Amino acid sequence: MTDKKVALVTGGSRGIGKACALELARAGYDVVINYAGNVDAANKTVEEIKALGVDSAAYKFDVSDKEQVNANIAEIVEKYGRIDVLVNNAGITRDGLFMRMSDENWDAVINTNLSSAFYVSQPVVKVMMKQRSGAIVNMSSVVGVSGNAGQANYSAAKAGLIGLTKTLAKELGSRGIRVNAVAPGFINTDMTKDLDTSKFLDFIPLKRLGEVEDIAKAVKFLAVDSDYVTGQVLEVDGGLII
Ligand code: NAP
């Protein structure tokens, strides 16, 4: 049990999730991270969070597996007693043209990026409803707004997260729970390291790719600083899809 406010960041071991976890730690939250399998990265992130003077722990579970999610959220709630901020960030890509897309790649991306937010949010919202407060930020993508050739599965999942965000904002507002989404453009992480991103610079008014801290600042704004903002999708993309 902790006296401090508690944040849970899925996919918090690396990339955008790690930056969000550190930003929330700087804001004074105890931060629980989840990860899929990269134990070294997860442990390193926990150490970096603790160095900021707050508590942290890493939970390994597959966000696309409802049973694993329920068992682990129950453990987290048992240990920390509350959850004030949830960042549904874990995600994967399995790109390919629609007509060649396998069922396996469709299901993996929908389950990991979209169904995961349903699985994780349900038990967390139960806790937030008892507290009569909480904030959820879903990690969408600009391609959930604009679509993208070669990413039918990923675009559909990220668009689904926007629908989920707006619906939960309407259902949960009266319980003191705010729900928003961030839609990043091209951000420098492991997910984009194999893409030839130079060709995108022509289309980005700010003429650079995003850094993980650009997204973390937006997440912290929506989760912590924006008491009267709910149901919104904040595009953080250097102007890519204006
Ligand atoms: P990343 O560097 O590949 O990191 C992915 C994170 O998700 C890791 O912590 C990974 O854990 C975790 N993860 C993956 N599958 C999981 C599963 N089944 N269960 C639990 N955790 C899982 O990705 P990123 O670029 O930071 O992306 C983070 C989020 O932002 C994703 O939702 C992504 O779609 C979204 N996004 C990214 C960009 C971009 O340009 N990078 C743009 C728009 C949106 P392990 O370390 O254990 O593997």
**Which of 101-110 are b and which e, b meaning 16 or more Cβ less than 10 Å from the residue's Cβ?**
beeebbebbb
- Relative to beta strand 6-9, strand 134-139 is unpaired
Q: What is the pLDDT of residue 26?
A: 98
181 within 8 A of 137, measured Cβ to Cβ: yes
Query: Do the bridges between strand 56-60 and strand 134-139 make them parallel or antiparallel, or are there none, so unpaired?
Result: unpaired
Cα(18) to centroid of ligand 1, in Å?
10
pLDDT of residue 38: 98
Distances in Å between the Cα of 187 and the Cα atoms of 46, 124, 140, 184 are: 22, 28, 13, 7
Give catalytic residues, as residue numbers.
Answer: 154
196 Cβ contact partners less than 8 Å away, ≥ 6 residues apart? none
**The pLDDT value given to residue 1:** 63
pLDDT at residue 2, rounded to an integer: 67
Where does ligand 1 bind, in terms of residues with CB under 6 Å? Answer: 10-11, 13-17, 34-38, 41, 62-64, 89-92, 112-113, 139, 141, 184, 186-187, 189-192
* Amino acid present at 51: A
Q: Is the pTM of this model over 0.85?
A: yes
The predicted structure's pLDDT at residue 196: 83
Residues with Cβ < 8 Å from 167, sequence gap 6 or more?
none
What does the pLDDT read at residue 187? 98
**What string of DSSP letters covers 122-182?**
HHHHHHHHHHT-EEEEEE--HHHHH--TTBHHHHHHHHHHHHHHHHHHHHHGGGTEEEEEE
The atom of ligand 1 lying closest to the CA of 184 is: 43
Q: Which two tokens stand for residue 29?
A: 């939250």
Quick one: which atom of ligand 1 is closest to the CA of 143?
43
Give the residues of the chain that fall short of pLDDT 70: 1-2
Q: Which ligand 1 atom minimizes the distance to the CA of 36?
A: 47
How much distance in Å is there from the Cα of 71 to the middle of ligand 1?
Answer: 21
In which residue are the tokens 């049973």 written?
A: 67
Q: How far is the CA of 144 from the centre of ligand 1 (A)?
A: 15
Q: How far, in Å, from the CA of 174 to the mean position of ligand 1?
A: 31
Neighbouring-strand partners of residue 35: 60
Whose Cα sits closest to atom 31 in ligand 1? 91
- The protein residue with its alpha carbon nearest to ligand 1, atom 2, reads 15
Partners of residue 31 on adjacent β-strands: 7, 56
Residue type at 206 in one-letter notation: L
pLDDT for residue 200: 86
